[in-house]
Amino acid sequence: MTHIITALCLRDSACVAVCPVECIIPGKPENEWPWFYIDADTCIDCGACVPECPFEAIFPEDEVPADYTVSKEGVFISRGDGEEVYDGHDDKGEAVRVEKVRTLAVGETVDLRPDKQPNYDYFNSKGGPDDSSSASERGAKVGMGYKAIGK
């Protein structure tokens, strides 16, 4: 089982720094792939990334919530259908800009299960890394297997 990065991700990158197998990749191009993605074939399911995410966007695949309830102000969702822009900084102080986000209201409930498939799709699309990508471009040498998952 792998971990899944959901649409709550705002590209902080702290998860990348702690991953012992370098399986977390920033989506490129950012306008099409706004999150970071976990290569399921490389992930060892250690969970080191989970507590590092300041947006609480990472879950074990079988625990991605159908009813995530927002408990604090300032939570965004990045599914490409929002009209807002998130401007912030990652864990290294670098500027981060994520477009087409939406601010979630405290108490709002969101189904994050649809965010599972993009983690797999990223590694099986022309937008994601492919065998011609260098490890430095991709952040890690990752497998290209595709797993179909149940919804």
**Most distant CA pair in the chain: distance in Å?**
45
- The answer to whether residue 13 is domain-embedded is yes
The segments of the chain whose pLDDT lies below 50 read 127-128, 131-151
Instruction: Output the pLDDT for position 129.
Output: 54
Instruction: Output the pLDDT for position 65.
Output: 97
Total tally of structural domains belonging to the chain: 1
- The answer to whether residue 120 is domain-embedded is yes
Cβ–Cβ under 8 Å, residues 34 and 98: yes
Instruction: Output the pLDDT for position 143.
Output: 33
Instruction: Output the pLDDT for position 138.
Output: 39
- The answer to whether residue 146 is domain-embedded is no
- The answer to whether residue 147 is domain-embedded is no
- The answer to whether residue 145 is domain-embedded is no
Cβ–Cβ under 8 Å, residues 143 and 116: no
Q: What is the CATH number of the domain that holds 130?
A: 3.30.70.20
HEC secondary structure over 4-52 = EECCCCCCCCHHHHHCCCCCEEECCCCCCCCCEEECCCCCCCCCCCHHH
- The answer to whether residue 151 is domain-embedded is no
Write the pLDDT tens digit of every residue in 127-146. 445 544 433 343 333 333 32
- The answer to whether residue 37 is domain-embedded is yes
- Domain extent for 22: 3-138
- The torsion angles phi and psi of 114, rounded to 5 degrees, stand at -60, -15
> In sequence order, which residues have a C-beta less than 8 Å from that of residue 57 and are 6 or more positions away?
5, 6, 7, 8, 9, 10, 35
